[in-house]
Homo-oligomer: A and B are copies of this chain.
Amino acid sequence: MSDGGGDVPRGDDIGGPSPPSYSSSSSSSSTPLCVGCVGGGQLGRMMALESPRLNVSMKFLDGLVGADCPAAQVVGAESCVRDGGSLYDEAKMRDLWDMGCDVITVEIEHVGVDGLMNMERDGINVQPSGRVIGIIQDKFAQKASAMTREYFSKHDIPLPPYVDISDVDSIRNAASSLGLPLMLKSRRGAYDGRGNTVLRDISDDAVIAALSDLGLTIIGRGEVVGTIVSAAGDGESSSSSSSSSSSGGLLYAEGWVNFHSEVGVMVVRSTTGEVRSYPATTAIQTDSICRVVLVPARNVPESVRRKCEDVARNAVSCLGDGATGVFGVELFLVNNENGLDVLLNEVAPRPHNTGHYTQDACAVSQFENHLRAVCGLPLGSTDLIVGAAAMVNVLGSPSGGIDRTMRGINAAMSMPRAVVHWYGKGYRPGRKMGHINITADSHAELDGPLSALLLAEGISEDVVHRGIGAGARPPPLVGVIMGSHSDLPTMQDAVDVLRDFGVPYEVDVVSAHRTPEKLMTYSRSAVDRGLQVIIAGAGGAAHLPGMVAAMTPLPVIGVPIKTSTLNGQDSLLSIVQMPRGVPVATVAIGNATNAGLLAIRCLCASRPGLRDRMVAYQLDMKNAVDGISRRLLEQGSDKFLEGMGNTSKSVNV
């Protein structure tokens, strides 16, 4: 499902020397492979935590001296370039290679590309290559490069509209061609919202203010100069990449995208051009910083999720030779008349915040797959091994200090399926200090713990609701529908069972004959909305259950409603006698209790806790009958019969 398609462009072969292989026939194949990583922030740290069990050792170059960077805390100072150094310093990167590395990789794109390319010319194995990092470093080039333009236009994948900016006039022209509001974006060094600003009108004051936001001023005949506010100091790594310029090439403008939601897809590409994608996620930002990630992408039809994954794989493939390792692909979903369009936003050549969930929700995480790819090992699975997952970033509390910052972490320590990932960085307001992953069998079952965590983290639920498209409610597991509201007195028994067992449900009227469009919409969207079982009640010419079953792969349980003319025999036969190929699980006439219980039994397969409760329910029934039996024996049948006026209902189960 997530393997690369056959029609994406692939490099014929990689440049540089072959990476070492696990399956060596020499007797030294248990010697660790050594990966040198430019950047020692939390992404490097999390690679380092996965490397030893793969027989991979890691060395780091970071701007912070020695043991202070997150990666050094894991591998020890002696595995870092002595005294640290700039990620733009070729000599320091060569020092890293000289620590015995088999391959050099990066955990941040803000590095010295020229230096990396020089090293590659000297036969040093760099993955991803300097050329690929260079394309991605310049966000304008990333979109405008001949290769990507041609590829995307050929495959009809739209990008948000954008133009180059050289001076104030070109800003005004962009505003008139792309409309307002207009995004002004730094071509290089942008990170977590820094380097982006919004222009809402084109008055002199507004233009000056927007440029000032970015650290730029206007000189002479409208030329834009200055030092772009950039990833310096924090971001995923600890090295500065401020760049100063007095000419064009600093900025580009992007048309405003009024998006439904943002999607992140992690992609991994091997040295041989094999490409796999992880599932599409919903990425929710606050103040342009990733805050919450939900997977599978919430409130997005499966067909659109797959399109996102296709676009992401293709975007990485078209980077060509040297595009090795994990790439984070950010996409916009935009409402159109037929549903949702997919727009490519940008690509990062490394593990990414929207992929942290893979640590606890997949057999092989983005960090392991990055190491596998750059070492030339087989790529690992990118499938989820759980039904749903969420990631919540822990940011330095704006005003509450470290104690307030730890509140989410402390809450997570007591939540059964939450996993804490701390980065070991010093406290600073707004800084990414760690993250928490939660997993569950379904989105419906994720929402309880997620809400508790959002509360502890101080994130409004509205942020999440807006992030998945306005008004989207948490999805239930079981849908209870009926052909008419007059069926509700019967169907309520199913609702009662679901409530007793604590299973999230929804109840609605869907008439096959009076609301055929709704029938189709309901059935076709059931999987996308997270439903796992549907209970449908109908009477007479009872077409609802069978028609729903024809339009969903989910199990559909049919409840024949008792009718006045034929006592429900018409309903029963209409529901049960389905043609070969389309099953309906039919229960007794009017017995919605059993429909609820059957739904529970279907959900039990992957939920041992729920099965325990079903076993307890069965024991309760046994005990109830045993009690009656004892009373009958004690009283004898004559006396028991006398008392049956008020108990007959419970006896005649």
Contact = CB atoms under 8 A, between A and B. Distances in A.
Contacts of A470: none
Contacts of A29: 402-403, 406
A403 B25 contact: yes
A582 B594 CA distance: 6
- The interface centre, meaning the residue of A57, A403, A416, A601 with most chain B CB atoms within 10 A of its CB, is A601
Interface range on chain A (Cβ under 8 Å from partner): 35 or more
Copies of this chain present in the complex amount to: 2
A124 interface: no
Interface string A633-653: 000000000000000000001
Interface in A410-446: 410, 413-414, 416-422, 424, 426-427, 433-434, 439, 441
> Which 9 residue pairs of A and B lie closest in terms of their CB atoms, listed nearest first?
A76-B76, A585-B585, A606-B606, A583-B594, A381-B416, A553-B614, A583-B598, A555-B601, A55-B422
A580 interface: yes
Interface string A363-397: 11000000010000110110111110000000000
A611 B526 CA distance: 13
Nearest to A438: B363
Interface stretch (A89-97, A224-232, A571-579): A571-579
A54 B424 CA distance: 9
A427 B26 CA distance: 14
Interface in A557-606: 557, 572, 576-589, 591, 593-595, 597-598, 601-606
A422 B31 CA distance: 11
A587 B581 contact: no
Interface stretch (A45-53, A166-174, A311-319, A514-522): A45-53
A403 B29 CA distance: 7
B439 A363 contact: yes
Interface in A121-155: none
Contacts of A403: 24-25, 27, 29
- The interface centre, meaning the residue of A439, A577, A581 with most chain B CB atoms within 10 A of its CB, is A581
B605 A22 contact: no
Nearest to A598: B583
A554 interface: yes
Given A402-B30, A406-B23, A53 B421 contact: yes
Contact of A378 (B384, B413, B422): B413
Interface string A603-629: 111101101101101100100000000
Nearest to A594: B583
Contacts of A74: 52, 74
Given A424-B55, A439-B385, A533-B605, A594 B578 contact: yes
A360 B615 CA distance: 28
Contacts of A25: 403
A459 interface: no
Contacts of A422: 52-55
Interface of A: 1, 22-25, 27-30, 32, 45, 49, 52-55, 57, 73-79, 360, 363-364, 372, 377-378, 380-381, 383-387, 401-403, 405-406, 409-410, 413-414, 416-422, 424, 426-427, 433-434, 439, 441, 527, 532-533, 550, 553-557, 572, 576-589, 591, 593-595, 597-598, 601-606, 608-609, 611-612, 614-615, 617-618, 621, 653
A265 to B, nearest CB: 16
A579 B45 CA distance: 59
Contacts of A598: 555, 583, 585
A434 to B, nearest CB: 8
A555 B602 contact: yes
A372 B414 CA distance: 11
A597 B583 contact: yes
A45 B578 CA distance: 59
